[in-house]
Amino acid sequence: DAKTTQPPSMDCAEGRAANLPCNHSTISGNEYVYWYRQIHSQGPQYIIHGLKNNETNEMASLIITEDRKSSTLILPHATLRDTAVYYCIVDMNRDDKIIFGKGTRLHILP
Amino acid sequence: DTAVSQTPKYLVTQMGNDKSIKCEQNLGHDTMYWYKQDSKKFLKIMFSYNNKELIINETVPNRFSPKSPDKAHLNLHINSLELGDSAVYFCASRLTRASGYGYTFGSGTRLTVV
């Protein structure tokens, strides 16, 4: 079973920031938080990951709470092309499998 | 281009046939995976290989046989195809034991068994 909990769906207006929450209350000390997204009919795409500190790259920002039990993915200026299913995953960077949950279906509204 | 590439992209075949899906990555990654996405859109791990060694073999019918001739290739052979095998199959790779590397997925192979 996936170790994360996400809302099944969210809406966001185009041009606004999309904030996608994720709960991972049983995360262990050496597990990273990864975010992927799957745009319709494509393979999942890596977005960002973090361990303890907040992270930012050209796609998104990742905010991890101090107790590491939850995190938020932020897409700063959502566009229609950001419509996708977003998966939050905890992973130890080993050759173990990663387990996908149901993710959050993000709808960007024009 | 650096990527994970799968062939074919679409595969339509009759029940009982045997088919193969090929996957290649030129990213220098050491671990490759096969995932299955069913009609309900759940992504489930099937197999993983690390440097040609089988690491993960989930509860998958033994009609499915992965083969890794080298660490850049992981092929999936399916014998005696059944209707329930219809799904999208994704190949993925990653560089393990190194922080900062997520999975890179291929674009998928849509298998339809009729």
- In tens, the pLDDT along B78-100 reads 999 999 999 999 999 988 766 56
Query: Distance (Å) from the C-alpha of residue A109 to the closest C-alpha of chain B?
Result: 23
Q: Which residues pair with B47 in a beta bridge?
A: B34, B57
**Contact state of A43 with B90 under an 8 Å Cβ cutoff:** yes
Provide the CA B11 distance to its chain's centre, in angstroms. Answer: 14
Report pLDDT for B60.
Answer: 86
Mean pLDDT, chain B, rounded, equals 90
Determine contact: B51 vs chain A, CB below 8 A.
no
**Contact state of B108 with A100 under an 8 Å Cβ cutoff:** no
Residue of B nearest to A40 (CA): B41
Q: Which amino acid is at A91?
A: D
Which residues of chain A fall short of a pLDDT of 70?
Answer: 1-2, 93-96
**Torsion, CA A83, CA A88, CA A91, CA A93, rounded to 10:** 30
Q: Which residues of B touch A46 (CB under 8 A)?
A: 102-104
**Contact state of B105 with A32 under an 8 Å Cβ cutoff:** no
Q: Which residues of A touch B105 (CB under 8 A)?
A: 43-45
Nearest to B107 among A43, A85, A102 (CB): A43
Q: Which amino acid is at A84?
A: A
Backbone angles phi, psi at A82, to 5 degrees: -85, 0
Q: Which residues of A touch B33 (CB under 8 A)?
A: 97
Burial of A71 (C-beta count, 10 Å sphere; 0-12/13-18/19+): buried
**In the predicted model, is pLDDT for residue B102 greater than 80?**
yes
Backbone angles phi, psi at A47, to 5 degrees: -110, -60
Spatial contact of A38 and A47, defined as CB atoms under 8 Å apart: no
Report pLDDT for A1.
Answer: 67
- What SS3 class is residue A9? strand
